[in-house]
């Protein structure tokens, strides 16, 4: 059984007050909170076992190395990868995408090739591809979305030609909450010989993932949105593809032998892990996944689905409410405007009531442009949020509209 009160006890920050009001944390899309188990595991490693990994012969180094490789196996199982060689630790989603844009780009992208992304991508899944296109003389194409937040997949046949080498798509949009039809996109991209990178930054904490079943070529996510630490994330890539890609950064760890005449590279996954990794962060990520697994993503998804619908119903009662993103398949993210109240004003007023939401362009300027707005307010849910908190948001929004005379 999913017991939200029990879960909340694992997150001490949820007992905090701000300005004397109970904290209502609805900015989980930006970063989630970490449970006690994750922080305690990291403390244990800092206090008792801290030593650099993959280098030492001594006890502490071996212990830390083993914990890191166990975490890799935990990630492998969590996303259903075929091999640990396919799980590369990075600093986060952004770094994972940059790694692919550089390395896949070096191996496979030439002048006139095309890369396709969607109009609703986070900047992290736009800018690295623009930089690659500039380097290689390739062309970036865009799959637009409809006003309800669903991708215009009817345009895929036209966009997906043999010139397309890679498609980058968010599994879940960080602004619209849309759960994109990635299986269909992957199948159709593969039919023209293109590879697909799925940005799972807003998906892994809400939906069970099986990269083999999805058949994506790359899958990326960050630890800090998955109840884990900052500074650590994952790049999954199909082994055969990663083998054909050159290293991205050079340094320790990623080499086999170094001579001034010629250097040879380490095997996967280490070929892509230059330098000292955030090895305590990796241990923390493993613990976060264990925590999520102990509750079960199926249970989390069902609970959050119910909460999302409750939230949208309650928010619909607020005068002047305009939702951005009402796709049939939607997850945990509610972006909105209230009449013509500036998004920052709404955010600041809610803050004074102890309610943390995100405001602004949400790292997705093209999505803002789509709707002709300078920014939005975003409430994003986590597994520990409750109906009471949604009621507090509702009451807060009613106060904001009253203050601005919207009825
Ligand atoms: N992609 C999506 C869909 C996101 O929501 C985010 C973060 O908000 C990112 C990429 C970038 O993640 P990070 O800043 O952890 O690298």
Question: What is the SS3 assignment for 96?
Answer: helix
**Is residue 363 flagged as an active site residue?**
yes
Is residue 248 very low, low, confident or very high in pLDDT (cuts 50, 70, 90)? very high
- Please name the helix (run of DSSP H) or strand (run of DSSP E) that holds residue 280, with its range, or none: helix 279-295
The closest residue, in CA terms, to atom 5 on ligand 1 is: 174
Cβ atoms of 330 and 308 closer than 8 Å: yes
Mean per-residue pLDDT, 343-357: 98
Instruction: Judge whether residue 56 has pLDDT over 90.
Output: no
Cβ atoms of 66 and 45 closer than 8 Å: no
Mean per-residue pLDDT, 297-316: 98
DSSP E strand stretches across 313-389 = 321-324, 333-338, 355-356, 358-360, 376-380
Q: Estimate to the nearest angstrom the gap between the alpha carbon of 221 and the chain centroid.
A: 5
Q: How many residues does the chain have?
A: 407
pLDDT value for 1: 83
pLDDT value for 199: 98
Mean per-residue pLDDT, 22-42: 98
Per-residue pLDDT tens digits for 212-235? 999 999 999 999 999 999 999 999
DSSP E strand stretches across 233-352 = 233-237, 255-258, 263-265, 321-324, 333-338
Mean per-residue pLDDT, 315-338: 98
The single-letter DSSP state of residue 249 is S
Choose the residue to mutate in 218, 325, 363, 365 for probing ligand 1, maximizing ligand atoms within 8 Å of C-beta. Answer: 363
Q: What is the distance in A from the centroid of ligand 1 to the CA of 124? A: 6
Question: What is the SS3 assignment for 114?
Answer: strand
Mean per-residue pLDDT, 44-71: 95
Cβ atoms of 118 and 142 closer than 8 Å: yes
Per-residue pLDDT tens digits for 103-150? 999 999 999 999 999 999 999 999 999 999 999 999 999 999 999 999
Per-residue pLDDT tens digits for 159-176? 999 999 999 999 999 999
Contacts of 105 (CB under 8 A, 6+ apart): 132, 135, 136
Q: Estimate to the nearest angstrom the gap between the alpha carbon of 155 and the chain centroid.
A: 26
Q: Indicate whether this model's pTM tops 0.95.
A: yes
Give the number of other CB atoms < 10 A from CB of residue 177.
28
Spell out which residues line ligand 1, taking CB within 6 angstroms: 92-94, 122, 124-125, 170, 174, 199, 201-202, 222, 363
Cα distances (angstroms) measured from residue 395 to each of 198, 264, 304, 390: 37, 62, 20, 9
294/291 Cα distance (integer angstroms): 5
Give me the DSSP letters along 149-211: S-B-GGGHHHH--TTEEEEEEESB-TTT-BB--HHHHHHHHHHTT-EEEEE-TTTTTTS---H
Q: What is the distance in A from the centroid of ligand 1 to the CA of 29? A: 8
Q: What is the distance in A from the centroid of ligand 1 to the CA of 231? A: 12
Q: What is the distance in A from the centroid of ligand 1 to the CA of 319? A: 31
The closest residue, in CA terms, to atom 6 on ligand 1 is: 201
Mean per-residue pLDDT, 268-277: 97
Give bridge partners of residue 199 from the DSSP assignment: 170, 220
Give the number of other CB atoms < 10 A from CB of residue 173.
33
Instruction: Locate 100 and state its tokens.
Output: 């692919």
Mean per-residue pLDDT, 321-326: 98
236 backbone φψ class: left, alpha, beta (φ>0; ψ -120 to 50): beta
């Amino acid at each position: 059984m999913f017991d939200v009160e029990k879960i909340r006890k694992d997150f001490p920050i949820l007992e905090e007050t701000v300005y004397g009001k109970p904290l209502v944390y609805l900015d989980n899309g930006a970063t989630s909170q970490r449970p006690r188990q994750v922080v305690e595991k990291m403390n244990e490693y800092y206090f008792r076992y801290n030593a650099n990994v993959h280098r030492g012969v001594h006890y502490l180094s071996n212990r830390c190395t083993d914990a890191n490789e166990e975490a890799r196996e935990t990630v492998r199982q969590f996303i259903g990868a075929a091999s640990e060689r396919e799980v590369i630790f990075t600093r986060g989603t952004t770094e994972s995408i940059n790694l692919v844009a550089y390395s896949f780009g070096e191996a496979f992208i030439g002048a006139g090739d095309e890369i396709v992304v969607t109009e609703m991508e986070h900047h992290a899944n736009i800018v690295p591809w623009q930089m690659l296109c500039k380097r290689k003389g390739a062309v970036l194409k865009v799959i637009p979305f409809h006003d309800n937040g669903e991708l215009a997949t009817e345009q895929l046949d036209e966009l997906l030609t043999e010139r397309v080498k890679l498609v980058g798509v968010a599994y879940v949009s960080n602004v619209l909450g849309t759960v994109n039809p990635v299986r269909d996109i992957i199948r159709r991209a593969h039919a023209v010989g293109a590879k697909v990178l799925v940005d799972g930054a807003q998906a892994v904490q809400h939906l069970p993932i099986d990269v083999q079943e999805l058949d994506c070529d790359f899958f990326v996510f960050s630890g800090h949105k998955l109840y884990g630490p900052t500074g650590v994330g994952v790049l999954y890539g199909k082994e055969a593809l990663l083998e054909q890609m050159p290293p991205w950064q050079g340094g320790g760890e990623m080499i086999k032998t170094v001579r001034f005449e010629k250097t040879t590279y380490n095997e996967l996954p280490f070929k892509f892990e230059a330098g000292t990794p955030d090895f305590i962060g990796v241990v923390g990520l493993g613990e976060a996944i264990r925590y999520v697994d102990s509750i079960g993503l199926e249970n989390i998804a069902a609970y959050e689905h119910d909460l999302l619908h409750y939230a949208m119903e309650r928010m619909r009662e607020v005068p002047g409410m305009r939702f951005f993103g009402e796709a049939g398949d939607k997850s945990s993210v509610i972006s909105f405007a209230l009449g013509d109240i500036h998004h920052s004003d709404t955010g600041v007023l809610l803050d004074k009531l102890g309610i943390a939401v995100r405001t602004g362009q949400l790292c997705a300027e093209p999505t803002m442009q789509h709707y002709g707005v300078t920014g939005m307010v975003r409430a994003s849910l986590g597994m520990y949020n409750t109906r009471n908190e949604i009621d507090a948001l509702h009451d807060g929004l009613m106060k904001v509209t009253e203050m601005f005379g919207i009825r």
